[in-house]
Structure 1
Amino acid sequence: MGSPWPDSRGAAVEQRSIVLRGEEVVFTLRRSARRTLGMQIDRRGLTVSIPQRASLREAEGFMAERADWILEKLAEWSKRSVPEKRLVEDGMSIPVLGEPCVVRWTAGANRTHWVEGYERRELHLHLRRHADAPRVLLRGLQDYALEYFAGRLDEYVWLLQRHVPEVKRPPLYLSNARTRWGSCSKLSGIRLNWRLIHLPRHQIDYVVAHEVAHLVEMNHSQRFWRLVATLKPDYERDEAALKQANRIIPQF
């Protein structure tokens, strides 16, 4: 399948294929300093990560044991439609917190202004040039997202502190990741994908609750999911809905 090449982290990477349940599956094999075998499926396909000294036979056995799951997840990703990129234009409507938001243009110094009423939300772009609209729109959405997410993080940390009082509120940053909604590190804090701002409030809350639970359980064990359920009892509904989020989130 060709010679391995190093990725950005120095790991040896190569393209290979395997037949699972009679179906050929192309995958990326990644050798690194990790101690265990692992796999990930996203829009790029299947990636299998193995220790440097692990054999190809071990990797294939690892995949064979999980064949049904691999084929199911690959099928799910193949059905996900990728939204076409939209032109940023005056009068366009985009979802913000799961509800329509109209984008208005006017002359100005490349600033944004939000107009929020009981039945409507508008984002006004004050532009020096029409060509600046995409950049100003992005900044406006990200600023709004950071402020909104901060409030949700405050609430879920407070809920967690009722059960684990010693937990401290971590720093919050925005992420531009394409395949992850959030991440949590005890060293660097919580990162949330700014594109979540397009989704309904309850789905955002699930992602926040998920990452806040990682402040106590840095894993996906049964204890972790029990903690998520304590913070957000209906989380399973939102977890399932996030699989269709790409149909809602616009691409600019």
Structure 2
Amino acid sequence: MTALAHSLDFGGEVVSFSIERTSRRKTVAISVGYDGVRVLAPSDLDDERVISIVRKKGRWLLRKQAGYRELGGAPITREFVSGETFHYLGRQYRLKVVPDTSAVITRITARGSTLVAPVLPEAGTLVRRAAVRSALRHWYRDHAKVHFRVRSKAMADLLGITRPTVHVVDQSKRWGSCDARGHIRLNWRLIMAPMTLVDYVIAHEACHVLEHNHSKRFWRSLETIMPGYESRVRHLDRLGHLFVW
């Protein structure tokens, strides 16, 4: 299978991609990931036709790429074993997996700067890792629900709007979003970031309750309640990949 490099300009934003040809495909498939855009095409389909198909997907490609850029890089590999470091509100916590014959369900407990995860002693490696990963996700989500709603109310008060409905969600490519009804969705992974960065994302989405696009009015509202927000954006860009697993 050969791969050929190409690029397309969509209104000043360039999308680079490789075309990989294989006789096993009958149609064109496009995928977007942390490593870029990949196009799989039938071996008998000429470049011009493949590029035409990719061009028609321009808006979708830009949206997908923006999502991956928002999280700042590829996720890091986790083993979910004792000694690994996890973040909570910007602080580092050390994971400690302990055998416990009563741990039918693994639940995380924070003890100082340690996250304790009890597991059944007889659990195999894969089962143990899955149990710890699931427990961590539940622990983070539970804490995110509390903090996000408190901070959303604070940002709403600053903007002079009614506190928006907040949903804590699992979305791997975005920190937050706001729909047409003014409902805010926040990625549970955001709770790993320092509170200043949590506040930035919530402030950003709260401003979308007033303005559903990135107009001048939107940026003025954000600057009003969070002067110098740009530095928080850059900080989140640098740290984001640490919170994705």
TM-score category by the smaller chain?
A: 0.5 to 0.7
Paired amino acid for 1:151: V
In the aligned structure 1, how far is the partner of 2:241 from the partner of 2:90? 12
Residue 113 of structure 1 corresponds to 109
Residue 156 (structure 1) shift: 0.8
- The question of 1:202 aligning with 2:196 is answered yes
In the aligned structure 1, how far is the partner of 2:177 from the partner of 2:232? 17
Residue 235 of structure 1 corresponds to 229
- The question of 1:26 aligning with 2:14 is answered no
Residue 225 of structure 1 corresponds to 219
TM-score if structure 1 supplies the norm length?
0.63
Residue 159 of structure 2 corresponds to 160
Residue 244 (structure 1) shift: 1.8
Among 85, 88, 111, which residue is 2:80 paired with?
88
In the aligned structure 2, how far is the partner of 1:202 from the partner of 1:156? 12
**Equivalent residues in 2 for 1:1-150 (5 A)?**
17-18=6-7, 25-26=16-17, 43=34, 45=36, 81-106=73-98, 107=100, 108=103, 109-115=105-111, 120-128=112-120, 129=123, 130-131=128-129, 132-150=131-149
User: What CA deviation, in whole Å up to 9, does each residue of 1:24-64 have, x standing for no partner?
Assistant: 83399xxxxxxxxxxxx9737479xxxxxxxx6xx69x99x
- The question of 1:174 aligning with 2:156 is answered no
TM-score if structure 2 supplies the norm length?
0.65
Residue 250 (structure 1) shift: 5.0
- Which runs of 5 or more structure 1 residues have no equivalent in the other structure? 1-15, 29-40, 48-55, 64-69, 162-166
SS at match of 2:97: strand
Residue 242 (structure 1) shift: 2.1
CA separation of 1:111 and 1:44: change in aligned 2, threshold 3 A:
same
CA separation of 1:211 and 1:81: change in aligned 2, threshold 3 A:
closer
CA separation of 1:176 and 1:99: change in aligned 2, threshold 3 A:
same
SS at match of 2:168: strand
Paired amino acid for 1:111: R
In the aligned structure 2, how far is the partner of 1:138 from the partner of 1:122? 16
In the aligned structure 1, how far is the partner of 2:15 from the partner of 2:238? 26
- Indicate the structure with greater helix content: 2
Count residues with an aligned counterpart: 192
Q: Is the 8 Å Cα contact of residues 86 and 93 (structure 2) preserved in structure 1? A: yes
CA separation of 1:225 and 1:134: change in aligned 2, threshold 3 A:
same
- Which runs of 5 or more structure 2 residues have no equivalent in the other structure? 20-31, 39-51
In the aligned structure 2, how far is the partner of 1:81 from the partner of 1:239? 14
SS at match of 1:229: helix
Identity of aligned residues (%): 27
SS at match of 1:220: coil
Using CA pairs below 8 Å that are at least 6 residues apart, which structure has the higher relative contact order?
2
Residue 151 (structure 1) shift: 1.6
